[in-house]
Structure 1
């Protein structure tokens, strides 16, 4: 928050100055009214009444102009603080790269760009009024001390006491807001996840269980919001009650003083006017505490994201990677990827994703190339030579061509070849403007299988030395999967390709298959060799094809044909 204040120091200072003029002019109005009564109305001097009326009009003009400018500046400060927060978080998210979604929920980032930016912006919106309230209370205290030492001292003691009392009532609000923000971020994350997988939910009939789960979670958020509202209601009541008691006390003391003749009629009116005026700055103090409590919760969330550090580049890189003509060895599982092979890894989904991260250099776990750790090599070169495509296909808003070839390095021939290798040429053929068709954010109007194929085509266009793909055909039909397997093998001939999949149609195309069980390579060989030699491997493949466990081992051709059919 201090960093944000430094970025908007001048408009923030200008808003504070206008706030002083705005509330300061209001604080001086009772003084002018007192003089108009005592010097003009009581002795019957109309010239004095007109003079003080002109002064009062001038103060009203100052209040109106300064209030307008202050409101404009406050709005600028609010929007500037909010959008600077979003820019800061988005910029930092870009530096985290592919590790971001593994370290923070999508809903958390969505909340930063909605509720958190508003909470921070509202805190800076009230700064101008707060400074004006402080100065005006000091000004009123000085005036009252000069007129009545009792009232002045009472005000000096009462205002801090009220502020401290209100601050104490904000403590439970702060805790409840923090809990509410946690639940809100969790619910938003769940909602973004289901929107991304809505087609899958409908396909498996999961809408009703999800709706039930979402209803339960949203009720918890509602209950947390009700607790926040209860604390806020208490604070709002205190905002009215405590200043109201102060107004009543000041008015009662002033009236008693007027009865015994120690104050003039003008001073009595001024006392009441000051008491009524103090309601506003006291309300501003309470609102300031409330807004800054909310902003503090939001700022902690933002700082949590900003504290995440990208993988640091090694201080002394072990030279260039060369042509990747040597094997990649994952010491965690014992997997060895021979250069130039079409290698398929059979592993549980989560374990396969972690393996892909390690082979791509996104994890600190030891993976060696030519005897050197990937973590000791320059990250930029690792990213350029090894491409990981996870099982969450992403496309970008804009022309499809730009999404497939973001660096504008390929011609139409190369793009067409990549689309054919990914069995995606039919998708482009159905679009009204072909490759120049504008697509929505994340390609939402494509099915899951279509997005998978388009993302695979984009990866083939990048033509990395090592391509690692997680579940590339999990959302396509068997015929398309068979086409992808054969065409992908041909397109990547001579290049290292690692697929994480248990699809028999892809396994049948593999030069080598590694079977992971218990976090280690349990068996390796060709698909047919493993079917013949490993019962555990056979059971995994049978679960994939949906076949019942056989008695004697069927021939490999029968298993493959059954899968394709």
Structure 2
């Protein structure tokens, strides 16, 4: 595999049972590159290890005044120099190729797993951890895969040098053969502590990354409530913890480096002292002493690779363990038989019919707009994901296993992943907008029945288009205007409406929306409710909300309490008959036993709903402001939200 051939057509199925098994699997899949790197490494290191013998022969030739032997030695030295230059160049090329291709394979595997898991990934692994695995951990894994072949070449070279010295000069060769293993194994007692400190540094860095990501994502809100400095101080403390952990880790690795310098120096002194003693006794020649001295000096070069492989493995083992953990994650429905469609395979037609959740008893009739009221926002989110086939209703340890949601008569966990996602689309309460143009945002798999213009109109995005055009004065087409990363240049309400429009464009069989208008003012929310009802006529739509404006326009409203459906009807019927429903919708602990809550306001039937909406929350949110606000005031409110 060459760099120009990336990305892989198929990165393979990894062995994610453990970190070492994952590293072994990577090595096996790059066996060709490893062998090439090993070959060029042997050419380089063996050529270098030959130089001491040539130097010894040259010195002895000078002592014996032999010009022929001196010329021959010079020619062989030139050949070794050419071999070293060629081998080192090709070793560097093959090593970097191994590094990049290994890192690319891991990144492709992580990207494929992330796409497969969807929103379930960040519920199982922290977002900062995912970022750290996809960046720093990938590099460390690639480093170990690349260093493995060079280490093997260095180890074989060390064995060859020791064997050659034993044959060439047995008296000094025995000293070297005994001392080299001691040098190679001397750092082993220090490695566990170094690995622990490196792991602590990596953990603290992951936490700091997660904190930074959360702070940047909520910067607009933090500025609005005056909490920016508080979070900056938290990140400063986290970064200082990372710095201290890095210093402690560096101290240990510097100690290992010191040992790798000190002990070879001690071996060299011992060899010289003993060699001089042998030379005085006439047991060795001057040339032999120079040869052994040069060989021991050059041993430091391959021995450095022992330190590098120890460091690479210490860093890559926890990185591989974390990567294997992410790669081993499965969607909760995978255990029930759901399989991802193979690349290039045709997606089966999605089933139709009513959507039913056996765990809660929630029934969503086909072709109707159903609103679901749930007092616990987290429970509402879990139920929304369950309706999309992404998560079970209860993931707590020891919870009883329940059957999945069904679309028609087909359980969602028995559908291929691609088919399930085509059948049911879930938009969570915090949708993500990727950077790019507006046209690229709407370039998603869709039925084609709903155009981008229709979706934007239904989601009330006219002011969003105007804002995007103002930010791109050289363009007259809003679909070519640029959206920054996560839509940070837009207000919370604008991002929410664009995400809603994107969901509407896909025109799925079933659309599940979790609080789609929580950051939108009441006037815009009323228009969105009308547009949603009009555009989704004849299609199954589920909206999790407690907004009376949306509830009043739903065909059917379902109250879910304590994980079970406890009431069904229209918004006005439930207001009049269900105390728990009134408590959730009006935020009144006593259930809102007022004429307005009962729909008998003296101002007329529509005034009752409007009155409820102005009391749905503590003083200050956008929905509680009077209808006389100017468009500029409404825009400021959305940006603050």
Answer whether TM exceeds 0.5 for this pair: yes
Alignment of 1:218-237 (within 5 A): 218-237=239-258
Alignment of 1:524-539 (within 5 A): 524-539=568-583
Cα distance 1:415–1:232, how it changes in 2: closer, same or farther (>3 A)?
Answer: same
TM-score (norm 2): 0.80
Alignment of 1:443-462 (within 5 A): 443-462=487-506
Q: Any stretches of 5+ residues in structure 2 without a counterpart?
A: 1-22, 340-347, 393-401, 470-474, 600-606, 615-622, 627-641
Superposition deviation, residue 265 in structure 1:
1.0
Aligned match of 1:374: 412
Aligned match of 2:75: 54
* Higher mean C-alpha displacement, 250-259 vs 378-387: 378-387
Cα distance 1:514–1:221, how it changes in 2: closer, same or farther (>3 A)?
Answer: farther
**2: CA distance between counterparts of 1:219 and 1:83?**
32
Work out which of the residue numbers 329, 333, 352 in structure 2 matches 1:323: 352
Superposition deviation, residue 212 in structure 1:
2.9
Superposition deviation, residue 90 in structure 1:
1.1
**2: CA distance between counterparts of 1:485 and 1:497?**
12
Aligned match of 1:104: 125
Aligned match of 1:155: 176
* Higher mean C-alpha displacement, 98-107 vs 446-455: 98-107
Aligned match of 1:249: 270
Superposition deviation, residue 231 in structure 1:
1.8
Aligned match of 1:19: 41
Aligned match of 2:511: 467
Aligned match of 1:342: 369
Superposition deviation, residue 558 in structure 1:
4.5
Work out which of the residue numbers 108, 133, 145 in structure 2 matches 1:87: 108
Alignment of 1:1-400 (within 5 A): 1-38=23-60, 40-310=61-331, 311-312=333-334, 322-324=351-353, 326=354, 328-347=355-374, 348-364=376-392, 365-366=402-403, 367-370=405-408, 373-377=411-415, 379-400=417-438
Q: Is the 8 A contact 2:510 2:539 kept in 1?
A: yes
Q: Secondary structure at the match of 2:558?
A: strand
Cα distance 1:353–1:132, how it changes in 2: closer, same or farther (>3 A)?
Answer: same
Q: Secondary structure at the match of 1:146?
A: helix
Q: Whose helix fraction is larger, Structure 1's or Structure 2's? A: 1
CA deviations on 1:505-553 (whole Å, 9 max, x unpaired) are 2223223333333333344433333334444433433449xx9997845
**2: CA distance between counterparts of 1:374 and 1:132?**
53
Q: Is the 8 A contact 2:445 2:506 kept in 1?
A: no
Q: Secondary structure at the match of 1:467?
A: strand
**2: CA distance between counterparts of 1:383 and 1:132?**
50
Work out which of the residue numbers 465, 488, 495 in structure 2 matches 1:428: 465
Q: Is the 8 A contact 1:399 1:435 kept in 2?
A: yes
Q: Secondary structure at the match of 1:221?
A: helix
Cα distance 1:282–1:405, how it changes in 2: closer, same or farther (>3 A)?
Answer: closer
CA RMSD of aligned residues (A): 2.8
Q: Secondary structure at the match of 1:226?
A: helix
Superposition deviation, residue 105 in structure 1:
2.6
Q: Secondary structure at the match of 1:16?
A: helix
* Higher mean C-alpha displacement, 237-246 vs 149-158: 149-158
* Higher mean C-alpha displacement, 401-410 vs 88-97: 401-410
Superposition deviation, residue 57 in structure 1:
2.3
Superposition deviation, residue 352 in structure 1:
0.9
**2: CA distance between counterparts of 1:529 and 1:205?**
42
Q: Is the 8 A contact 1:177 1:297 kept in 2?
A: no
Cα distance 1:252–1:428, how it changes in 2: closer, same or farther (>3 A)?
Answer: same
**1: CA distance between counterparts of 2:596 and 2:83?**
93
Q: Is the 8 A contact 2:26 2:145 kept in 1?
A: no
Superposition deviation, residue 379 in structure 1:
4.6
Aligned match of 1:480: 524
Aligned match of 1:505: 549
* Higher mean C-alpha displacement, 392-401 vs 54-63: 392-401
Work out which of the residue numbers 610, 613, 622 in structure 2 matches 1:560: 610
Aligned match of 2:634: none
Cα distance 1:409–1:524, how it changes in 2: closer, same or farther (>3 A)?
Answer: closer
* Higher mean C-alpha displacement, 97-106 vs 445-454: 97-106
Superposition deviation, residue 291 in structure 1:
0.9
CA deviations on 1:223-257 (whole Å, 9 max, x unpaired) are 33233222212211111112121111111111211
Cα distance 1:76–1:383, how it changes in 2: closer, same or farther (>3 A)?
Answer: closer
Superposition deviation, residue 48 in structure 1:
2.6
Q: Is the 8 A contact 1:399 1:438 kept in 2?
A: yes
Q: Is the 8 A contact 2:526 2:549 kept in 1?
A: yes
CA deviations on 1:251-276 (whole Å, 9 max, x unpaired) are 11112112222111111212221221
* Higher mean C-alpha displacement, 44-53 vs 80-89: 44-53
Superposition deviation, residue 453 in structure 1:
0.9
Superposition deviation, residue 490 in structure 1:
2.3
Superposition deviation, residue 404 in structure 1:
1.6
Q: Is the 8 A contact 2:357 2:406 kept in 1?
A: yes
